Chains A and B, each alone.
Chain A
Amino acid sequence: MSAERDSDRPEPGDVPLVVRSSAGANCSSVGSVVDLLFATAAVSTAVFAAAWAALAREARPEDQDDATQRDNNAPAG
């Protein structure tokens, strides 16, 4: 069931930040949002900046206390 990390397999860490948006909600295949593929560079940059800012907000020390614990995500959206 588990995915072994292959040394020659490209990893997300090959780029500094990967942004995968939306909750997956299909029971038979992995879906990926494609809208940013067709967006301008400026829009993509803005989305990445917003994602980073959201991460920074959630990474504040008071929140990090819970970081490695099981969370109770509110329903997305």
Chain B
Amino acid sequence: MRLRGETWGAWIRLEHAPLLLAVDHAGLASLAITPPPPRPGPSAPLEVHVAVTSQCSAGCTGCYLDATPGGHSPEKGEIVRRLEGLADAGVFTVAFGGGEPLVRDDLPDLARAARGLGLLPVMTTSGLGLTARRATELRDFAQINVSYDGVGADYAEVRGIDAARHAERAIEALVAAGVRTGANVVLTRATMPRAADTLERAKALGCVDAQLLRYKPRGRAASLEYLSRRLSADQVRRFPALLRAWSARARPMSLRVDCSMIPWFSTDPSLADAARLTRLGIFGCEAGGHLAALSVDGATAPCSFLPPGDGDLHRAHARAPREPCASCPIFAVCKGGCRAVSAFSGDPWAPDPECPKVVAWRGAAAHGRPEPA
């Protein structure tokens, strides 16, 4: 296991199970575990997203990085130096992305380098062009997620390219190679009605989990078209109930939601419990907290969707939320929703404008009615 001492106890990543645990001092003492002392000063993120290239030829319409075929791929030595810095800081997981990481021939070397440094390497890929042989070379990754936004035409609806079958073949190749494989599923207004079918297909292909992702207005997706592609207010309202049904149907495949979807739990009485969400290790916006991102040129950002910065403003925002976040029972976890979405609306520090609680609060304020709790 790998330990990181904190003022409240320790984060522990187990070696023989895909679990990250946070244990308080009493729990550590009961197991006679003595973590290293907390590092003085700032504490490192748990997870860092590492862009290993900005090159990609897929041309997806909603690419948040605006990756192109003429993108840049840093030398292997430079990536390894960045990994060494992250390991020294106490980071647990490095998530390789891009661009399309598969454009690099040295991915197996990078994965091994990460493991040698005590980091857990994972990766996201479109899977385009992934061969069975290449898949076997990627076994050092703890998990690889393939972007799989829908069955058949739904994939093309989200990404603007007709490559669902290519993604499916990539999943099959990775599973056959013994790589723990997941699916990343971006939900849009048009594809959400058939999300259950997408998840069913991902399970049939052998995915161990599927991560549901919110469509975000960054890169090529930052256009007025975003307004017609994001989920409708009614879809957001129904999301918790649908998530419950999808989770039951997907078993034994696990379902994950991305950090920007936590606001959608705020009006569901069965989910709006910050202590319970915390116990289950569910993260809302952790930009500048448990999460950071390294761009392809090595710049640090609070998350992959945000411009470079060290996260100070994000942490300050978390200390002084505006209403209705200030009185929301899950703000401690949610942290006010996705800053990238708020930024697109004109104010990066405003409450997430697509949160159902925020929508209701603003509606009431506009009509002069008492603000809903």
Partner of A59, one of B1, B13, B184, B254: B1
Set of chain A residues within 8 Å of B123, measured between Cβ atoms: 25, 27
User: Which residue on chain B has the smallest CB distance to residue A59?
Assistant: B31
> Quick check: is A4 within 8 A (CB to CB) of the other chain?
yes
Partner of A56, one of B26, B31, B35, B288: B31
User: Which residue on chain B has the smallest CB distance to residue A63?
Assistant: B1
Set of chain B residues within 8 Å of A74, measured between Cβ atoms: 15-16
> Quick check: is B235 within 8 A (CB to CB) of the other chain?
no
Q: A2-B89, A15-B279, A76-B180 given as contacts; is B259 within 8 A of A29 (CB)?
A: yes
Partner of B8, one of A14, A24, A28, A44: A14
Set of chain B residues within 8 Å of A55, measured between Cβ atoms: 1, 12, 14, 21, 23, 31
Set of chain A residues within 8 Å of B280, measured between Cβ atoms: 18-20, 32-33, 36-37, 44
Is A26's CB under 8 angstroms from B145's CB?
Answer: yes
Is A5's CB under 8 angstroms from B7's CB?
Answer: yes
User: Which residues of A come within 8 Å of B, CB atoms?
Assistant: 1-6, 8-38, 44, 51, 54-59, 61, 63-64, 67-77
> Quick check: is B170 within 8 A (CB to CB) of the other chain?
no
Is A11's CB under 8 angstroms from B180's CB?
Answer: no
CA–CA, A51 and B182, complex, Å: 22
Q: A1-B45, A27-B51 given as contacts; is B315 within 8 A of A19 (CB)?
A: no
User: Which residue on chain B has the smallest CB distance to residue A28?
Assistant: B304
Is A24's CB under 8 angstroms from B21's CB?
Answer: no
Could you give, for residues 291-303 of chain B, a 1 whenever the CB lies within 8 Å of some chain A CB and a 0 otherwise?
1100000001001
Is A68's CB under 8 angstroms from B3's CB?
Answer: yes
Partner of A22, one of B18, B291, B312: B18
Is A12's CB under 8 angstroms from B8's CB?
Answer: yes
CB of B324, distance to nearest CB on chain A (Å) = 18
Partner of A34, one of B143, B179, B247, B260: B247
CB of B254, distance to nearest CB on chain A (Å) = 5
Set of chain B residues within 8 Å of A13, measured between Cβ atoms: 6-9, 22, 24-25
Is A23's CB under 8 angstroms from B21's CB?
Answer: no
Is B259's CB under 8 angstroms from A30's CB?
Answer: yes
Is B281's CB under 8 angstroms from A32's CB?
Answer: yes
Partner of B213, one of A20, A26, A63, A71: A26
CA–CA, A74 and B121, complex, Å: 11
Partner of A54, one of B17, B117, B255: B17
> Quick check: is B134 within 8 A (CB to CB) of the other chain?
no
Given contacts A2-B42, A29-B305, 4 further A-B contacts (CB under 8 A): A2-B41, A19-B280, A23-B143, A26-B258
Is A8's CB under 8 angstroms from B319's CB?
Answer: yes
Set of chain A residues within 8 Å of B89, measured between Cβ atoms: 1-2
Pick from A8, A38, A44, A73 the residue with the most CB of B within 10 Å: A73
CB of B9, distance to nearest CB on chain A (Å) = 5
Is B9's CB under 8 angstroms from A76's CB?
Answer: no
Set of chain B residues within 8 Å of A71, measured between Cβ atoms: 1-2, 15, 118
Is B209's CB under 8 angstroms from A30's CB?
Answer: no
> Quick check: is B141 within 8 A (CB to CB) of the other chain?
yes
> Quick check: is B72 within 8 A (CB to CB) of the other chain?
no
CA–CA, A16 and B26, complex, Å: 8
Set of chain A residues within 8 Å of B124, measured between Cβ atoms: 25-28
Is B20's CB under 8 angstroms from A20's CB?
Answer: yes
Set of chain A residues within 8 Å of B274, measured between Cβ atoms: 10
Is A16's CB under 8 angstroms from B291's CB?
Answer: no
CA–CA, A67 and B8, complex, Å: 18
CA–CA, A21 and B208, complex, Å: 12
Instruction: Mark out the residues of chain B between 27 and 49 whose CB falls within 8 Å of any chain A CB in the assembled complex.
Output: 27, 31-36, 41-45, 47-49
CA–CA, A23 and B43, complex, Å: 20
Partner of B49, one of A28, A61, A67: A28
Set of chain A residues within 8 Å of B18, measured between Cβ atoms: 21-23, 76-77
Is B42's CB under 8 angstroms from A23's CB?
Answer: no
CA–CA, A28 and B289, complex, Å: 15
User: Which residue on chain B has the smallest CB distance to residue A36?
Assistant: B280
Is A34's CB under 8 angstroms from B278's CB?
Answer: no
CA–CA, A67 and B83, complex, Å: 20
